[in-house]
Amino acid sequence: MTDELAVIGVECFGHHGVLEFEKREGQRFVIDLVLGMDTAAAAESDDLHDTVDYGSLVTQVKACVETDPVDLIETLARRIADVCLLGDRVEWARVTVHKPDAPIDATFSDVALTITRKREGP
């Protein structure tokens, strides 16, 4: 059985996008994380060392978004998933990158990409 830990709505400011002004001016990105993991050991021990320190994880995710601009949210989402999977307790990560201020010439509420990545073999 896999449990799920979610951290929803992490606001970041990044300079990602295909258009030059997106890289120059930057914009808001909102990140949702869902991590698949077994929480039984942490529930038994009540020790942070037996689970994912989501405070530290959010700091690392914000650093992913706020540095090293890329063109596509697909690339950004993969980068974030890779960070989530660094912890050996995480079996899989579902990452949603929201780009609510994307340069679209229409009224819309959000652009979002969700990816799920699993830990590579042993």
* Cα radius of gyration (the chain): 16
E strands along 1-121, which residues?
3-14, 27-37, 90-98, 112-118
How many Å apart are CA 97 and CA 116, to the nearest integer?
A: 12
> Positive or negative, the Cα torsion across 51, 14, 75, 115?
positive
How many Å apart are CA 117 and CA 23, to the nearest integer?
A: 27
**Catalytic residue ranges:** 99
Residue 81 CA: distances (Å) to CA of 4, 85, 96: 15, 6, 10
